């Protein structure tokens, strides 16, 4: 079983750095409170570390 991550944006991108806005878009999040499921890998973890104050993350098995 591969692990997956459920990611939800909890803070607005207004008045934040442009690199944070681009990282949120690269994760596939288009609007507030949207949830996306992505594979758990080092690239995604690095992106989440960059915007950890703006997102909520849950690990999902399967």
- Choose between 42 and 62: higher pLDDT: 42
* Residue 54 · residue 9 · CB < 8 Å: yes
Tens-digit pLDDT profile for residues 24-57: 999 999 999 999 999 999 999 999 999 999 999 9
This prediction's pTM: 0.90
pLDDT at 1 over 70: no
* Residue 57 · residue 7 · CB < 8 Å: yes
Instruction: Provide the number of structural domains found in the chain.
Output: 1
What is the CB-side half-sphere exposure of residue 41 using CA atoms within 13 A? 5
Q: What is the CATH number of the domain that holds 25?
A: 3.30.1390.20
Report pLDDT for 41.
94
Q: What is the dihedral of CA 46, 39, 36, 56, to 10 degrees?
A: -50
Report pLDDT for 2.
76
The parent domain of residue 53 ranges over 3-61
């Amino acid at each position: 079983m591969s692990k997956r991550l459920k990611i939800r944006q909890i803070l607005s991108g207004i008045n934040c750095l442009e690199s944070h806005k681009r990282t949120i878009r690269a994760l596939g999040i288009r609007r507030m409170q949207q949830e996306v499921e992505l594979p758990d890998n080092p690239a995604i973890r690095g992106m989440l570390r960059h915007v950890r104050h703006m997102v909520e993350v849950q690990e999902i098995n399967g």
